Amino acid sequence: MRRWQNWLPSLQRQLAFPQTSLQLCVLGMLGGLAAAILIILFRLAIIGLQSFFLSHTDDFSTISADIRWTLPLGGAVLIGLLAWLTGYKHYRLGIPFVIHRIKLKYGLMPTRNTINQFFGGILALSSGFSVGREGPSVHLGAYGASFIGKYLQLPYNSIRILAGCGIAAGISASFNTPLAAVIFVMEVVLREYRVHVFIPIMLSSVVGALITQTVFGSDRELALLNIVSISGWHMPYLVLCGVVFGAIAYVFNKNLMRLIKLFRNWPLMLRLTLAGAVTAAVGFLIPHAMGAETGAIFYAVNAPNDVALLLTIFIGKMLLTLFALGLGVPGGVIGPVFGIGIVLGTLLAIIPSALLGDSSIAGTYAVLGMAGLMAATMHAPLAALVAVMELAHNPGIIVPAMLVITTAYVTGVQFFNNKSIFTLQLDFLQMPYKLSPADDVLQKVGVLALVNNQYQLLDNPGENDIQQVLDKLEPPQQLIVKRSGTDGDEYCLASYDVQLSMTGASAVQYQPMQGLNHQATMAEVFAILEDKREGAVYIYREDQPAQLIGIIRWDQVRGLLVKQNNLL
């Protein structure tokens, strides 16, 4: 135990620096392992529950209509009951909430929210709601990895990276797409590309994929689709397809936000019940539209020329997804968008198939539809491209996918002013997700990276003692005076003030000092010292709040900002 206690402070100090390290890589892999275990338990629970009433996982067309319409209603009631037990204020879930916590709370995830996400997601996906498992996977992954950092009391800047590791492992464990998971984290969640962040996230994604493949095998969910290379004659038509995907993405985002705003004042239980009723009604008529994306893939493969069936599934899938997510059912948006895109792409393939007399291209168009809709809906073009490459396992899909993705993205942004669905939700929910340039720089450096011991500490000294020490003090040394009182110990910086000495008053001025936990970053130091732009803060360990481990001066904060981005 003593050996562990001696080693931990060294680890904490090492991780306070924004640089690649073996320690961070190992912790990233441990975070990936924790995330993968949570996701595996999550997926096994869904498969286990569905096995009681489904012949095939996620295929709700195989059960009787009586069971099919009661499932979402029962699921909605149970989800609402769980939210009531954990507290309604802990019902903020999904990727937008995770982005907010990553930016403002260093990726630390509340336990009650995570309980809601875990069990609520299981109930939602088991009962046929059209939501994706990646939303809960992102939340659970961030929680599992950041919990390790929280337990070890690591600096917050490293806990944020661990949360990113958990998210990557979570997505990788959900879709078996390790590289797309890394790109998604960097492009959508963290919104930055730095090597010291990229390396541990990449390793954790590998761990997530390997652990998941051990349990579920390495089969790809798009393996059913026949993906063939297409000739250059398809390219003009693919541009038109990209325009359609961009327009549908706008319609999806616009109507999802419209539903969220329309029902925002309804009690949660009432919203969930309405979502269950809509899912029950539509699912009763169109069972193929229930569940995540797997059912859509099955029917896109088996009925690529059945326009009526595909169009019915497309409309039903859109309605079920919009009402489920818009009314607060716990789950993700990526899975349903995949399903909608696959069906839409298969529909658009009917025209060239009829002209060429060859329906084998339907699988290729299905995958392109998935990529185009994902890129335009979530503003994640690179993640969409990499996801297609990994899921398709066919290099011939790359050039057509790039064309469709860029066209869909530009169409949505240029002609419809479409924004990322995650950004729209964050803005509406008033959850901050942007940092000032100074905070963006300073949050990457822990206080332990710059803490110093250039000070002398006097415990309840007299005025003469203070002046004697000040006379001998040499910059940049500081004098800290400790005053003990009934409310606890207070620390002040003592220094000479020429103006006070000229008036005849005491020549010594005292600046109260605030303390910060050793896990804090330089952003918290900046927030304390920004107004006066002078002074210092003291750093302490949480288990020993009365014992200083060092100080950080304002000039150190200023020097860091000037060095990094010339922000001052």
Residue 488 vs residues 15, 479, 480, 485, 546: alpha-carbon distances, Å: 31, 20, 16, 5, 9
138 contact partners, CB below 8 Å, separation of at least 6:
94, 95, 98, 167, 170, 171, 189, 332
- Residue 115 is predicted with a pLDDT of 92
- Residue 404 is predicted with a pLDDT of 96
Nearest Cα residue to 137 out of 292, 317, 290: 292
Counting DSSP H helices and E strands in the chain, the numbers are 25, 7
Least confident of 64-78, 141-155, 254-268, 367-381: 64-78
- What is d(CA 343, CA 337) in angstroms, rounded to the nearest whole number? 10
Model confidence at 362, pLDDT cuts 50, 70, 90, reads: confident
For the domain covering 447-565, report its CATH number: 3.10.580.10
Quickly tell me which residue has 């100080």 as its tokens. Answer: 551
DSSP structure string for 418-444: ---HHHHHHHHHT------HHHHHHTT
Q: At residue 160, what are phi and psi to the nearest 5 degrees?
A: -60, -45
Taking residue 220's Cβ as centre, other Cβ atoms within 10 Å add up to: 15
pLDDT for residue 135 is more than 60 = yes
- Residue 416 is predicted with a pLDDT of 94
| Mean residue pLDDT across the chain | 87
pLDDT for residue 113 is more than 50 = yes
Cα 266–Cα 268–Cα 274 angle in degrees, nearest 5: 75
Q: Where are the domains of the chain?
A: 2-434, 447-565
**Strand intervals (E) in 390-524:** 455-459, 478-485, 488-496, 508-512, 515-517
Across 19-27, average pLDDT? 92
- pLDDT tens by residue, 195-232: 888 999 999 999 999 998 888 877 666 666 677 778 88
Residue 375 contacts residue 384 (beta carbons within 8 Å): yes
Topology agreement, domain 2-434 and domain 447-565: no
Across 149-158, average pLDDT? 94
Residue 493 contacts residue 513 (beta carbons within 8 Å): yes
Quickly tell me which residue has 């996620």 as its tokens. Answer: 58
Q: At residue 561, what are phi and psi to the nearest 5 degrees?
A: -65, -40
Residue 123 contacts residue 284 (beta carbons within 8 Å): no
- Residue 220 is predicted with a pLDDT of 62
pLDDT for residue 180 is more than 80 = yes
- Residue 167 is predicted with a pLDDT of 95
Residue 508: both structure tokens together: 């010594």
- Residue 284 is predicted with a pLDDT of 87
Strand partners, 508: 496
- Residue 303 is predicted with a pLDDT of 65
Residue 305 contacts residue 335 (beta carbons within 8 Å): no
Across 120-127, average pLDDT? 92
- pLDDT tens by residue, 538-550: 999 887 777 888 9
Across 154-158, average pLDDT? 95
- Residue 393 is predicted with a pLDDT of 79
Taking residue 169's Cβ as centre, other Cβ atoms within 10 Å add up to: 41
Which range has highest mean pLDDT (173-177, 182-186, 510-514, 530-534)?
182-186
Taking residue 552's Cβ as centre, other Cβ atoms within 10 Å add up to: 26
483 contact partners, CB below 8 Å, separation of at least 6:
460, 489, 490, 491, 492
- Residue 1 is predicted with a pLDDT of 47
- What is d(CA 455, CA 464) in angstroms, rounded to the nearest whole number? 18
The model's pTM is 0.90
- Residue 498 is predicted with a pLDDT of 62
Residue 162 contacts residue 26 (beta carbons within 8 Å): no
Across 476-487, average pLDDT? 82
Dihedral of CA 351/355/359/362: which sign? negative
- What is d(CA 182, CA 171) in angstroms, rounded to the nearest whole number? 9
Across 21-32, average pLDDT? 94
**Strand intervals (E) in 338-447:** none
pLDDT for residue 35 is more than 50 = yes
- pLDDT tens by residue, 47-106: 899 888 877 777 787 788 888 889 999 999 999 999 998 888 878 888 999 999 999 999
Strand partners, 458: 481
> Which amino acid is residue 44, in one-letter code?
L
CATH architecture of the domain covering 2-434: Orthogonal Bundle (1.10)
- What is d(CA 360, CA 304) in angstroms, rounded to the nearest whole number? 9
Across 109-133, average pLDDT? 92
- pLDDT tens by residue, 269-328: 999 999 999 999 998 888 888 887 665 566 666 666 778 888 888 999 999 999 999 999
Q: Name the strand (E) or helix (H) holding 552.
A: strand 544-553
pLDDT for residue 502 is more than 70 = no
pLDDT for residue 430 is more than 80 = yes
- Residue 568 is predicted with a pLDDT of 46
- pLDDT tens by residue, 375-428: 999 999 999 999 888 888 778 889 999 999 999 999 999 999 999 999 999 999
